[in-house]
Structure 1
Amino acid sequence: MSAESWKLTLPCTRAEAEAIDASGDLGDAIPGDAVLMTTEEIEDDVESWRLDAYFEHEPGADTVAAVRALVPSAAGARIAVERLAAADWVTMSQAGLEPLSVGRFFVHTRAHADAVPAGKRAFLIEASRAFGTGHHETTSGCLAMLDGLADAAPGERFANVIDIGTGTGLLAFAAADLWPDAAVMGTDIDPVSIEVTQENADLNGVAGIDLVVADGTLDDAIVARAPYDLVIANILAGPLVSMAPEIASIADAGATIVLAGLLETQRADVVAAYTACGCSLDAVDRRGDWSVLRLRAGATRFVADGPFDPKGRDGWALDI
């Protein structure tokens, strides 16, 4: 760790905080070692949130401008720049990340490593360069959805699982734990996320997950392993809609598809895109403004009309 650590602080709104939490892509102007944390300042006040950005080195003007661009509501606010004393600033930045208990899973940072309850499957997931600590409603909702599938009577059984947009790898790890005999693949468009996932897999003793850097499903390794009987995609509404034919095409007939990263106001558009590919909606887990969807692929495996064109996709940005 560098002897010099720095923190930038700006006010923000809840919508901006959720957009930051839901997007792992912070742009080229923000260093890959940055840790961004959002905090509710006043309970139930959507305008009173705070963004803290931590860096190992003094941020330059371009970095400061990039952080400010994440919170347009703070355009006129003074950005607080603080030089921190030599300390483990990553641990400090995560002090507010309380452990998360979802079903049989317990997700925590090093700050709470001694708080794991007996009988829980613990995952140590630090806030990092990739999205998916479990604390956002989209990720915790997916964890609950997967846990519920295993606990159903009779519980679902899967043999071939893919987690698209794996982030930190948490959902892929959960699937591997719930269905230990299944082949599990984690993919992400961001090579950094795949690096982080491998680091987290080693840290948590998770073995046997195949990791692929891929744009959606456009990779030979993904296609070769298809069809999948469980498809997980926790990304954003725009890509979920535009990737519907891709995702449906790698799903087996009758497969379970878990989708997240969408606001409740975007649910109808996402469901319509998958219905057009022969899927049907089985369940919705609404968490605040966010929804997690469970769909069932059609009885006949979906075949796309033509090749997929990634240039035609919507941008990887949250539309709030």
Structure 2
Amino acid sequence: MTSWKVTLPCTRAEAEAIDAADDAAEGMVLMTTELEEDDREHWRLDAYLEVAPTPEAIAAIRLLAPSAGDVAPVVEELPDEDWVTLSQDGLEPIAEGRFVVHTSAHPVAAPEGGRAFLIEAGQAFGTGHHATTSGCLAMLDRLADQSFTRIIDIGTGTGLLAFAAQHLWPAAEIVATDIDPRAIIVTRENAELNALDGIALIVADGALDDTITARAPYDLVIANILAGPLVSMAPELAAIAAPGATIVLAGLLETQRADVVAAFAGCGCTLAETDRRGDWTILQLTAGAVRYVPTKPIDPKGRDGWALDL
């Protein structure tokens, strides 16, 4: 099958924004590559398509890399190749604690006492290759000696963090949610690929869905999304947490940490640990000794009023 690749230069900031977005460009697989170690300016964006790129598609790709300015994109026809496999050629396996994450292009065995997850690059965020997701894996690994019975993964993406939680706490009741129905489809497919079952999958905007609140409180809350939504959703995430629950937050830049911590402190949560990875930071918080009750009704349409101006 003939496929196509469109390449543009980009910056590290643009690459990280692309990696963190689960709907950056429809009908494409996007890959970003660091060209020089620790160089913020010299990265590359490759967009793989099944059909010849239209002017509209190229314009959409250009929007993802505004630093490219008037640089002409390199458009290549890739005959008789699997475009998804091509897009994964650079995705080497990543290891965090007892977990290894790999694509079918780079299969690996699980470490002794650990677990290997097959997660293909595709339509949902969370292959483990972004610092926020790998940092969450490491954070969960460090929590392995604690006991959790009810766990929720908000913004599950590919399902990877929910899968890791199930490996660590197999007797726990686990819920994985995402606002994007495609992500829940991807999570279900990934669960089948990895011979996993028993995780409840819910399409939901935030944590206000009746199915989510009916299962509350949760003693482990995971939310790997973005800083703005974390700030705006702090009251509802704190409200579904059990007293003393562990809350793992990611998707925020180090420069946004104070705002996120302050939002959750206002809901009775205290900071327990941070894990900084480049410009990104993963937070572990502890819910208050008394279950938090929001001081005003939470309207999903109005939560943006709490959001950061990102």
Give me the TM-score of the superposition, normalised by structure 2: 0.96
Cα 1:59–1:318 change in 2 (3 A) is farther
* Whole-angstrom CA distance in 1 between matches of 2:308 and 2:293: 29
Q: Per-residue CA shift, 1:62-83, capped at 9, x if unaligned?
A: 2211111011111211111111
Distance 2:63 2:117 in 1: 33
Q: How does 1:1-320 map to 2 (within 5 A)?
A: 3-26=1-24, 30-31=25-26, 33-114=27-108, 116-150=110-144, 155-314=145-304
Question: CA contact under 8 A between 2:7 and 2:75: conserved in structure 1?
Answer: yes
Q: Is the 8 A contact 1:19 1:318 kept in 2?
A: no
Gaps of 5+ in 1: none
Q: Deviations over 1:214-258 (max 9, x none)?
A: 000121110111110000000000000000001000001110000
Change (3 A) 1:299 1:117: closer
Task: Render the CA deviation track for 1:91-123: whole Å, top value 9, x for unaligned.
Answer: 111111111111111100111214544543000
Q: Which sits farther off after the overlay, 297-306 or 107-116? A: 107-116
**Residues in 2 aligned to 1:230 and 1:118: alpha-carbon distance in whole angstroms:** 26
Say if 2:243 and 2:287, in contact at 8 Å, map to a contact too: yes
| C-alpha distance in 2 between matches for 1:112 and 1:305 | 50
Equivalents in 1 of 2:303, 2:69: separation in Å? 30
Contact 1:108-1:125 at 8 Å conserved across structures? yes
Alignment TM-score, normalising by the size of structure 1: 0.93
Aligned residues: 309
- Secondary structure at 1:147's aligned position in 2? helix
**Aligned counterparts of 1:194 and 1:21: Cα–Cα separation in 2:** 18
Q: CA separation in 2, counterparts of 1:114 and 1:158?
A: 29
C-alpha displacement of 1:307 = 2.1
Other structure's SS at 1:295 match? strand
**Distance in 1 between residues matched to 2:112 and 2:266, nearest whole Å:** 45
What fraction of aligned residue pairs are identical, expressed as a percent?
A: 68
Alignment RMSD: 1.6
Q: In structure 2, how many angstroms separate the alpha carbons of the residues matched to 1:233 and 1:77?
A: 37
